[in-house]
């Protein structure tokens, strides 16, 4: 199946970054798109721009999410909701950091799939796209975030087996670093977040330099791929997979 075979889509984490950009791309391709996030004011701005529907909900609240999605027939689910609390390291993270990152990145993805996938199976049509990370495939020193994204990778691999023969596809997008609000929102040192941005001068706003020519992260949903990846996966910015620290303020480039 191609994007033309689908009529509706829902994107979590749609208030900024990859999620918001994906809403723009899917809306532009003619899909009736729902944008789901916790910030209603951001969703309202996105709706004015794209004509999408909005749902203010928290993916960590399974019962609340299920109620918000009741009755929707969604063909394409893009699980983009994610945070990176505790990026500086597990040993310095708080209990709240651990809970927020695991419950949003992995738990929220599971809850959204649980709510919408049964309808896809019943209609024998659907595509689940999980936004992972290169940090879920290669070791870097951000244990909490890496563990949740590693879980997303295994979720996709095992869910494909569960849904085999159902008509529902499962894909994973594993980007490298993408210029967005992510670092400013999750790193505790604003100067460090800014220094990290300076290390990648070729970044574009709402674009991902996963190949030599920057392209939008939502291109995966439009059927465009920068280069070949394992089946069901789109891996980007492979040069970032060095096993080095994600960020060290004392080693940031000037």
The reported pLDDT for the residue numbered 4 is: 82
Would residue 82 count as lying in a domain? yes
- Phi and psi for 97 in degrees, rounded to 5? -60, -45
Would residue 80 count as lying in a domain? yes
CATH no. for residue 112? 3.40.50.720
Domain housing 45: 3-240
The reported pLDDT for the residue numbered 251 is: 40
Would residue 132 count as lying in a domain? yes
**Which residue numbers in the chain have pLDDT < 70?**
1, 177-254
Q: Which sequence positions are flagged as catalytic?
A: 145
Would residue 98 count as lying in a domain? yes
d(CA 144, CA 149): 9
d(CA 189, CA 192): 5
Look up the pTM and report it: 0.78
12 by Cβ neighbours in 10 Å (0-12 / 13-18 / 19+) ranks as: buried
Would residue 247 count as lying in a domain? no
Would residue 44 count as lying in a domain? yes
The reported pLDDT for the residue numbered 223 is: 40
Report the number of distinct structural domains present in the chain: 1
Would residue 249 count as lying in a domain? no
Local structure of 73: helix, strand or coil:
coil
Would residue 147 count as lying in a domain? yes
Tokens matching residue 88: 């500086």
Cα angle value 82/11/185 (rounded, 5°): 30
Tokens matching residue 148: 């949740």
């Amino acid at each position: 199946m191609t994007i033309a075979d689908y009529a509706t889509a829902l994107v979590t984490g749609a208030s900024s970054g990859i999620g918001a950009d994906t809403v723009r791309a899917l809306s532009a391709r003619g899909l009736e798109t729902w944008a789901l996030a916790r910030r209603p004011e951001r969703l309202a701005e996105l709706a004015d721009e794209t004509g999408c529907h909005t749902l203010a909900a928290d993916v960590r609240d399974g019962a609340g999410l299920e109620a918000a999605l009741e009755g929707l027939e969604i063909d394409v689910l893009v699980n983009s909701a994610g945070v990176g609390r505790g990026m500086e390291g597990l040993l310095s993270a708080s209990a709240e950091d651990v809970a927020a990152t695991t419950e949003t990145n992995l738990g929220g993805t599971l809850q959204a799939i649980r709510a919408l996938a049964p309808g896809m199976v019943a209609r024998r049509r659907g595509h689940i796209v999980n936004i992972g990370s290169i940090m879920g495939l290669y070791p870097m020193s951000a244990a909490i975030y890496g563990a949740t994204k590693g879980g997303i990778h295994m979720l996709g691999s095992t869910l494909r087996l569960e849904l085999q023969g159902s008509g529902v596809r499962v894909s994973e997008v594993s980007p490298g670093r993408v210029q967005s609000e992510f670092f400013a929102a999750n790193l505790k040192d604003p100067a460090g977040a800014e220094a990290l941005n300076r290390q990648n001068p070729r970044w574009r706003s709402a674009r991902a330099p996963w190949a030599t020519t920057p392209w939008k992260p939502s291109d995966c949903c439009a059927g465009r791929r920068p280069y070949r990846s394992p089946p069901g996966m789109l891996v980007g910015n492979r040069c970032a997979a060095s096993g080095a620290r994600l960020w060290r303020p004392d080693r940031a480039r000037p």
